[in-house]
């Protein structure tokens, strides 16, 4: 084996090495029965992170404007509870938040229906804890989605 080939497989990771040996993992979301592209396909991590930043920014503005009345310390204390409340309210009623809508995303159950209120509440709580959202499977689906049986898809 050439040294460059060995180094390349180490840098590319185990999935690339397995694919070179003939393994077929399919597209992201295939195991869930989702299409490869277009509406209903699994949302990519870039879109999801972008939507999260927009939602966080909007919630920070709300916290600063409504709660703090100019006191930055008070606004920081209320940002996470307001994020939880706004996210649960919007996901439970419309299936999307402002950021998700801007990026063309929706949270649904694995069967394609709207997520229930308990699913949305637990998913949002886990998202606020951050760690479950930072751990993904090979479909780039976070543990917060796996725990409640939801998936974030493109509209």
Q: Is the dihedral of CA 43, 151, 80, 99 positive or negative?
A: positive
Kindly state whether residue 3 falls inside one of the protein's structural domains: no
Contact 67, 79 (CB under 8 A): no
pLDDT at 11: 62
Q: What per-residue confidence (pLDDT) applies to 115?
A: 96
Q: What per-residue confidence (pLDDT) applies to 43?
A: 84
The reply to whether 9 falls in a domain is no
- In 3D space, the residue among 44, 35, 31 whose CA is nearest the CA of residue 104 turns out to be 44
Q: Is residue 37 part of a domain?
A: no
Residue 15 lies in a domain: no
User: Does a structural domain hold residue 13?
Assistant: no
C-alpha to C-alpha distance for 66 and 112, rounded to whole angstroms:
36
Q: How many CB atoms lie under 10 A from the CB of residue 4?
A: 8
The whole-number pLDDT of residue 21 equals 67
| Residue 150 domain flag | yes
- Tell me the residue range of the domain where 73 lies: 50-155
Q: Is residue 36 part of a domain?
A: no
Does residue 140 belong to any structural domain of this protein? Answer: yes
Along the 155 residues of the chain, how does pLDDT read in single tens digits?
Answer: 555 555 555 566 665 666 566 555 666 777 777 787 778 778 888 999 999 999 999 998 888 887 766 666 677 788 899 999 999 999 999 999 999 999 999 999 989 899 999 999 999 999 998 877 788 887 888 889 989 999 999 89
Tokens of 37: 């592209």
Max CA pair span of the chain: 66
Q: Give the number of domains in the chain.
A: 1
Is-contact 155 105, C-beta < 8 A? yes
């Amino acid at each position: 084996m050439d040294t460059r080939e060995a180094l390349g497989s180490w840098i590319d990771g185990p999935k690339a090495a397995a694919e070179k040996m003939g393994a077929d993992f399919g597209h992201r979301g295939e195991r869930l029965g989702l299409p490869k592209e277009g509406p209903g396909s699994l949302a990519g991590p870039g879109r999801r992170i972008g939507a999260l930043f927009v939602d966080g920014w909007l919630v920070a503005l709300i916290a600063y404007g409504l709660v703090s009345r100019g006191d930055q310390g008070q606004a920081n204390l209320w940002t996470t509870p307001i994020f939880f409340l706004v996210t649960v309210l919007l996901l439970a009623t419309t299936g999307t938040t402002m950021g998700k809508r801007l990026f063309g995303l929706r949270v649904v159950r694995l069967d394609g229906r709207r997520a229930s209120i308990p699913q949305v509440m637990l998913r949002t709580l886990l998202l606020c804890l951050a760690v479950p959202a930072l751990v993904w499977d090979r479909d780039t689906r976070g543990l917060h989605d796996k725990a409640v049986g939801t998936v974030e898809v493109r509209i």
